[in-house]
C-alpha cells in the first residue's frame, strides 16, 4: 500500500482560535487566579467579628451556588483607609490581576438557610477549619460532619446519593472508592455494570453510557473529547495503524461494539475485499499453499474475525466454494466439532446447508 | 437548526414545569477536517455533526415516582466540501425512552429505545420494553423484550431479543444475579445464554466479582471473568483477574464464519495503583494472554501528577505482543489551566511495531487543544492533530467543538 501525504488547514478553525484568543485577552484581567486575598479568618475571629458580619447572604442561601464570598465593598466598610492610601497589598497579593472570586462547582445539594438556625448560628460546627493566608489545603467540611447529624446508612446501602451529591465523579479513593473510577476503571467498569447496574445509575444516566458506547455517532470518542488527554480511551492516537494487532489480541473486545459490516465497509473502500470495484490481494505469498508458514487455514483458525472482516457475504463467502462437502478444501471444522454439533443440527441452521447440501 | 430549535422549545417549556422537575440538556456541535480514503484516494473531508441530549425528570406526580424522559440523537453530514457529490446527510436516535416507577418504586417500567444492562444482557441497545420488580429485601427480577437497535453502522445484533435477570441486591456494592438472554438472528437462534454474576464486598478492603455466561447452544463457557480487588490502605489498590472468552461465540451463529473461529482466549493478570501523594498517581498492570494459536503479553504503566499551578502532566507506556505482531507505545501528555474557564492540553504518542505495517515500523502523532468556557454554559474546544503513521506519511487535522449545556434543578433542598 502506498503512503499518502496530506497537509490541510481549516480556515474556520483558525478564525475560531483567533476569536477565542482575542476574547480571552479581554477577559484575562478578571478572575485569573493569580491574585490572592490575604485574609485571615483567625485575626477577625480574635477581634470578635462574627461570621455573619461578612457572610450575610449565607442566611438565605438555599444552594451552594447562592453562597457568595464577600465583595470588596464589604471589606471597605472597615478598611477603607487602606485603599485610600493606595495600600493595595494590604489585601491583594497581585492587584494587577484583581477580579471576582472564581466560580465554584456545585457538587452538593446543601442549604445553609435551613441549617444555620438548627446549629445555633455556630458555623464552627461544620467549618472545622477556615482558610488562612498561605494555605492551599481543601477546607471544605468533611462528610463526617454531615453524618454527625444525618444518619444515612439506608441511603448509603441503597446507593441513593442524589439527595446530597450532585456529582460523585470528583471523588478519588476510599471510603468513596466504592464508587472510584481510578486505576484501570476503563477496563474494569464492565464488572460493576454486569452485577451492579443500579449502582451505576445512581450517578449516571443512559446518556452517559451512550457518550462512549454509541456506535452510531461517526465521530469517535477520542475526537469528541480530544482535550481530555488525561483520560483513558481505547482508540487514542494512531489507532488505525495498530488496529489489526489489537483485533488479534482480543477479538471479542472488538466484537462487543463492532459488527462485521463495520470492518467490511472500510476495507471495501480501500479495495481490500473481493466485493470492491478493483480488489487488491492483501494476502502474503503461500496463502493458498498447504504447509506454507503463511497458509490461510492456520491464519483463519487463529483469527477468523480478520477473514470475516472482508469475506462475510453469507452463502457467497468464498470459503464455501472450496470447503463445502466434497470440495477441495476439506473439512474446516476445528477438532471436537462433532461432539458438540450432532448431524441433526444441519436441518436447524440455514448456514450449515450451504456446505452440507 | 432543528436541534437548537428543540433546545429552545425545552427552555420555553421549562417555565411550565412544576417544582420537583429536573431538566438536563446538552447540545454539541462538531466541525473539523480529517483525511478520508475513498476508492483508493485520500481526500479531505469536513464532517459536521450536531448532537442533542435531553433528560427530564419529575418526582411530583402522585402515583408515578421518578418519571423520566430521555432522548439523545444526532444529525449531520459526513463529507461536505471535498465530497459535494457524495456527501451523506444522516442521523440517528441513540436513546428515546420513558421510565417511571409505581407502587412505591416496587415496579419500574421503561419503554422505548434504551440500553439494557446487567448479567448476560451486557450492554444491549433495544427498541422495546423493560420491567423491574423489587420483590422483598433486595430481591428482584427484571425482564426485557424487543428488537436489538441497529445503529448507523449496521452492527447486526439480531432480529429480536428476550431476556431477564433475577437478582439479590444486598447493598450498593454487593449483588448477585442469575440471567438469561436469547437472540434470534436471520430466523434462527443466534445466541442463547445463561449467566451468573456476583459482586461481593465482605470487608471494605476487599471486593470480589465474578461473571460467567454459559452458551446453551454450544454447552460451553462463552465468557468468564473473576476479579479480586484489595485496598490495604486508601492510597493503594491491588487487583488480580482471570478472564476467558470464546471468540467464536461473539460471532452470530447465523454467520458462516462462526464455524471456523478460535474457541478459547485466556487472560490472567493483575494491576497495582498507588497514590504516594495527593498529587501523584501511578498505575501498572500486566497480563498474560493464551489462545489456541499461541501466547502473548499485554502490559501498561502510567504516572500522572496534578501540580499546584494547577496543571497535570503524565506519561504512559504500553506493550502488546500477540503471535502475529506487537507494538510498544509511549505517550506523554499535559494540561495547563490558566483560569477556571480556560485550559490547553497536549499529548505526544509514538509506538514501535514488532513487524512493519505497510512497510513502516513506527508511528508518531501529536495533538494540542484549547478549551474555553466563553459564556456561561458554553464551551468551545479547538484541536489540532498531526502525525506520521503507517498509512499517512504526514497528516494534519483540525477539529472544533462547541458545547452548550444547561441544567435546571427544581428540587427541594435539605
Q: How confident is the model at residue B261 (pLDDT cuts 50, 70, 90)?
A: low
B389–A240: do the CB atoms touch at under 8 Å?
yes
What's the rounded Cα separation, in Å, for the pair A69 and A75? 11
What's the rounded Cα separation, in Å, for the pair B184 and B187? 6
- The more confidently predicted of residues B130 and B36 is B130
Q: How buried is residue B306: exposed, middle or buried, by Cβ count under 10 Å (0-12/13-18/19+)?
A: middle
What's the rounded Cα separation, in Å, for the pair A268 and A270? 5
Q: Is B33 on the interface with A (CB under 8 A)?
A: yes
Cell of residue A259, nine digits: 459488527
In the predicted structure, residue A138 carries a pLDDT above the cut 50 = yes
How close is the nearest chain A Cα to the Cα of B105, in Å?
A: 13
What's the rounded Cα separation, in Å, for the pair B183 and B149? 12
Residue-wise pLDDT tens digits, A308-347: 767 766 666 777 777 877 777 777 777 667 776 777 777 6
**A306 contacts A298 by C-beta, under 8 angstroms:** no
Query: Which run of H or E residues covers position B381?
Result: strand B378-388
**B395 contacts A6 by C-beta, under 8 angstroms:** yes
- The more confidently predicted of residues A243 and B262 is A243
Least confident of B94-103, B247-256, B340-349, B357-366: B247-256
Cβ neighbours, 10 Å, residue A21? 11
How close is the nearest chain B Cα to the Cα of A81, in Å?
A: 31
A23–B374: do the CB atoms touch at under 8 Å?
yes
Q: What pLDDT score was predicted for residue B333?
A: 94
**B33 contacts B45 by C-beta, under 8 angstroms:** yes
Average per-residue pLDDT for chain B: 81
Q: What are the backbone dihedrals phi and psi of residue A315, each rounded to the nearest 5 degrees, phi first? A: -65, -20
What's the rounded Cα separation, in Å, for the pair B370 and B380? 8
User: How many percent of chain A have pLDDT more than 70?
Assistant: 67
**B353 contacts B380 by C-beta, under 8 angstroms:** no
Q: Is B110 on the interface with A (CB under 8 A)?
A: no
Q: What pLDDT score was predicted for residue B242?
A: 94
What's the rounded Cα separation, in Å, for the pair A227 and A222? 9
In the predicted structure, residue A164 carries a pLDDT above the cut 70 = yes
Instruction: Calculate mean pLDDT across residues A45-65.
Output: 82
Q: What pLDDT score was predicted for residue B360?
A: 84
Give the E-state strand segments of chain A in sequence order.
4-5
Residue-wise pLDDT tens digits, B86-116: 566 778 888 899 988 888 778 999 999 999 9
**β-bridge pairing B280-291 and B294-307:** antiparallel
What's the rounded Cα separation, in Å, for the pair A180 and A177? 4
What's the rounded Cα separation, in Å, for the pair A126 and A140? 9
Please give the distance of CA B95 from its chain centroid, rounded to a whole number.
14
User: How many percent of chain B have pLDDT more than 90?
Assistant: 26
Closest partner CB to A215 (pick from B44, B155, B333): B155
In the predicted structure, residue A11 carries a pLDDT above the cut 60 = no
Q: What pLDDT score was predicted for residue A24?
A: 35
Cell of residue A111, nine digits: 442549604
Q: For residues A263, A264, A266 and A268, what is the CA-based torsion angle, rounded to 10 degrees?
A: 160
The DSSP bridge partners found for residue B202 are: none
**B123 contacts A193 by C-beta, under 8 angstroms:** yes
Helix locations, chain A, DSSP H: 11-27, 41-46, 51-54, 72-84, 112-116, 143-147, 153-158, 185-188, 190-195, 197-201, 206-213, 221-224, 239-249, 251-255, 260-269, 296-302, 304-311, 318-323, 337-340, 350-353
Q: How confident is the model at residue B25 (pLDDT cuts 50, 70, 90)?
A: confident
**A41 contacts A130 by C-beta, under 8 angstroms:** yes
What's the rounded Cα separation, in Å, for the pair B180 and B193? 6
What's the Rg (C-alpha) of chain A?
A: 33
- The more confidently predicted of residues A237 and B173 is A237
Collect all residues of chain B within an 8 Å Cβ-Cβ radius of residue A136: 308
In Å, what is the CA distance from B384 to each residue of A123, B51, B126, B365? 49, 21, 36, 11
- The more confidently predicted of residues A300 and B123 is B123
Residue-wise pLDDT tens digits, A91-133: 888 888 777 776 565 567 788 888 888 888 888 888 887 777 7
B74–A224: do the CB atoms touch at under 8 Å?
no
Residue-wise pLDDT tens digits, B297-350: 999 999 988 886 678 899 999 999 887 788 999 999 999 888 888 999 999 999
Q: What pLDDT score was predicted for residue B407?
A: 65
Instruction: Calculate mean pLDDT across residues B45-52.
Output: 80
Cell of residue A345, nine digits: 443440527
**A173 contacts B275 by C-beta, under 8 angstroms:** yes
* Chain B contacts in chain A segment 225-284 (CB below 8 A): 226-230, 236-238, 240-242, 244-246, 248-252, 255-262, 265, 269-271, 277-278
Q: What pLDDT score was predicted for residue B285?
A: 92
Instruction: Calculate mean pLDDT across residues A208-215.
Output: 78
A6–B394: do the CB atoms touch at under 8 Å?
yes
Give the E-state strand segments of B81-155 in sequence order.
89-102, 107-117, 123-136, 139-148
Cell of residue A319, nine digits: 470459503
* Chain A contacts in chain B segment 279-308 (CB below 8 A): 281, 283, 285, 289, 291-294, 296, 298, 304, 308
B260: left (phi over 0), alpha (psi -120 to 50) or beta: alpha
How many residues are there in chain B?
414
Least confident of A12-21, B45-54, B330-339: A12-21
The DSSP bridge partners found for residue B224 are: B212, B244
Q: How confident is the model at residue B256 (pLDDT cuts 50, 70, 90)?
A: low
- The more confidently predicted of residues B222 and B406 is B222
ipTM: 0.76
Cell of residue A157, nine digits: 446501602
Q: What pLDDT score was predicted for residue B179?
A: 94
Instruction: Calculate mean pLDDT across residues B60-80.
Output: 77
The DSSP bridge partners found for residue B396 are: B386
Chain A, chain B: beta-carbon pairs less than 8 Å apart: 437
Closest partner CB to B197 (pick from A24, A195, A213): A195
Q: How confident is the model at residue B154 (pLDDT cuts 50, 70, 90)?
A: very low
Collect all residues of chain A within an 8 Å Cβ-Cβ radius of residue B275: 172-173
**B32 contacts B47 by C-beta, under 8 angstroms:** yes
pTM of the prediction?
0.65
Beta carbons within 8 Å of B5's beta carbon, 6+ residues apart: none
Q: What pLDDT score was predicted for residue A116?
A: 84
Cell of residue B21, nine digits: 422537575
Q: What pLDDT score was predicted for residue A137?
A: 60
Cell of residue B215, nine digits: 452458551
In the predicted structure, residue B84 carries a pLDDT above the cut 80 = no
Q: Is B277 on the interface with A (CB under 8 A)?
A: no
Q: What pLDDT score was predicted for residue B287?
A: 93
Residue-wise pLDDT tens digits, A227-270: 888 888 888 888 888 887 887 777 777 776 776 667 776 777 66
Amino acid at each position: 500500500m502506498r503512503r499518502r501525504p496530506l497537509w490541510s488547514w481549516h480556515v474556520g478553525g483558525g478564525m475560531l482560535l483567533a476569536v477565542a484568543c482575542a476574547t480571552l485577552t479581554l477577559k484575562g484581567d478578571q478572575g485569573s487566579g493569580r491574585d490572592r486575598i490575604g485574609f485571615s479568618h483567625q485575626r477577625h475571629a480574635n477581634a470578635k467579628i462574627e461570621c455573619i458580619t461578612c457572610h450575610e447572604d449565607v442566611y438565605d442561601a438555599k444552594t451552594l451556588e447562592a453562597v457568595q464570598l464577600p465583595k470588596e465593598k464589604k471589606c471597605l466598610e472597615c478598611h477603607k483607609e487602606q485603599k485610600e492610601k493606595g495600600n493595595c497589598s494590604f489585601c491583594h497579593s497581585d492587584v494587577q490581576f484583581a477580579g471576582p472570586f472564581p466560580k465554584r462547582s456545585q457538587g452538593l445539594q446543601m442549604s445553609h438557610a435551613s441549617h444555620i438556625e438548627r446549629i445555633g448560628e455556630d458555623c464552627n460546627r461544620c467549618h472545622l477549619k477556615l482558610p488562612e493566608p498561605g494555605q492551599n489545603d481543601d477546607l471544605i467540611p468533611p462528610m463526617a460532619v454531615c453524618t454527625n447529624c444525618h444518619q444515612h446508612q439506608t441511603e448509603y446501602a441503597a446507593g441513593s446519593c442524589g439527595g446530597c451529591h450532585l456529582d460523585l465523579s470528583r471523588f478519588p479513593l476510599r471510603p468513596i472508592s466504592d464508587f472510584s473510577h481510578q486505576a484501570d476503571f476503563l477496563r474494569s467498569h464492565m464488572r460493576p455494570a454486569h452485577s451492579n447496574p443500579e449502582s451505576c445509575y445512581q450517578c449516571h444516566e443512559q446518556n452517559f453510557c451512550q457518550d462512549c458506547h454509541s456506535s452510531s455517532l461517526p465521530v469517535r470518542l477520542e475526537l469528541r473529547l480530544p482535550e481530555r488527554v488525561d483520560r483513558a480511551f481505547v482508540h487514542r492516537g494512531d489507532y488505525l495503524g495498530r488496529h489489526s494487532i489489537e483485533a488479534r489480541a482480543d477479538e471479542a473486545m472488538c466484537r462487543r461494539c463492532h459488527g462485521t459490516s463495520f470492518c467490511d465497509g472500510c476495507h471495501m473502500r480501500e479495495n481490500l475485499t473481493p466485493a470492491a470495484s478493483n480488489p487488491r490481494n492483501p494476502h502474503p505469498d503461500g496463502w493458498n499453499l498447504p504447509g506454507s508458514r503463511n497458509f490461510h487455514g492456520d491464519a483463519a483458525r487463529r483469527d477468523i474475525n480478520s477473514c470475516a472482516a472482508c469475506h462475510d457475504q453469507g452463502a457467497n463467502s468464498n470459503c464455501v466454494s472450496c470447503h463445502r462437502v466434497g470440495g477441495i478444501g476439506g473439512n474446516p471444522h476445528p477438532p471436537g466439532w462433532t461432539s458438540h454439533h450432532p448431524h441433526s443440527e444441519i436441518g436447524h441452521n440455514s448456514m450449515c446447508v450451504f456446505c452440507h447440501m | 437548526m432543528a436541534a437548537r430549535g428543540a433546545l429552545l422549545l425545552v427552555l420555553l417549556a421549562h417555565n411550565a414545569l412544576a417544582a420537583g422537575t429536573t431538566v438536563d440538556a446538552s447540545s454539541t456541535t462538531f466541525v473539523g477536517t480529517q483525511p478520508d480514503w475513498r476508492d483508493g484516494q485520500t481526500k479531505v473531508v469536513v464532517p459536521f455533526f450536531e448532537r442533542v441530549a435531553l433528560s427530564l425528570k419529575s418526582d411530583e406526580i402522585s402515583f408515578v415516582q421518578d418519571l423520566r424522559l430521555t432522548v439523545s440523537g444526532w444529525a449531520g453530514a459526513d463529507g461536505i466540501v471535498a465530497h459535494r457529490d457524495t456527501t451523506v446527510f444522516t442521523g440517528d436516535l441513540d436513546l428515546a425512552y420513558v421510565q417511571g416507577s409505581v407502587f412505591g418504586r416496587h415496579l419500574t417500567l421503561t419503554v422505548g429505545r434504551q440500553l439494557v444492562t446487567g448479567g448476560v444482557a451486557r450492554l444491549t441497545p433495544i427498541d422495546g420494553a423493560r420491567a423491574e420488580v423489587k420483590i422483598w429485601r433486595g430481591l428482584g427480577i427484571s425482564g426485557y423484550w424487543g428488537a436489538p437497535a441497529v445503529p448507523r453502522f449496521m452492527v447486526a445484533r439480531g432480529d429480536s431479543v428476550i431476556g431477564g435477570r433475577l437478582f439479590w441486591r444486598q447493598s450498593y456494592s454487593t449483588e448477585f444475579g442469575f440471567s438469561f438472554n436469547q437472540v434470534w438472528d436471520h430466523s434462527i437462534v443466534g445466541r442463547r445464554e445463561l449467566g451468573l454474576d456476583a459482586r461481593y464486598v465482605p470487608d471494605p478492603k476487599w471486593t470480589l466479582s465474578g461473571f460467567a455466561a454459559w452458551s446453551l447452544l454450544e454447552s460451553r463457557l462463552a465468557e468468564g471473568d473473576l476479579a479480586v480487588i484489595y485496598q490495604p490502605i486508601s492510597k493503594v489498590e491491588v487487583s488480580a483477574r482471570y478472564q476467558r472468552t470464546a471468540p467464536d461465540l461473539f460471532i452470530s451463529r447465523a454467520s458462516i464464519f462462526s464455524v471456523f473461529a478460535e474457541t478459547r482466549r485466556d487472560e490472567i493478570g493483575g494491576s497495582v495503583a498507588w497514590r504516594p501523594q495527593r498529587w501523584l498517581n501511578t498505575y501498572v498492570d500486566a497480563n498474560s494472554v493464551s489462545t489456541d494459536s499461541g501466547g502473548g503479553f499485554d502490559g501498561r504503566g502510567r504516572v500522572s501528577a496534578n501540580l499546584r499551578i494547577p496543571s497535570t502532566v503524565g506519561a504512559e507506556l504500553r506493550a502488546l505482543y500477540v503471535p502475529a505482531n506487537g507494538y510498544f507505545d509511549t505517550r506523554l501528555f499535559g494540561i495547563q489551566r490558566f483560569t477556571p474557564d480556560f485550559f490547553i492540553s497536549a499529548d505526544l504518542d509514538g509506538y514501535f511495531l514488532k513487524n512493519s505495517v505497510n512497510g513502516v515500523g513506527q508511528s508518531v502523532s501529536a495533538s494540542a487543544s484549547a478549551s474555553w468556557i466563553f459564556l456561561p454554559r458554553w464551551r468551545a474546544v479547538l484541536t489540532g492533530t498531526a502525525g506520521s503513521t503507517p498509512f499517512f506519511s504526514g497528516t494534519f487535522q483540525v477539529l472544533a467543538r462547541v458545547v452548550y449545556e444547561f441544567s435546571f434543578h427544581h428540587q427541594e433542598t435539605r
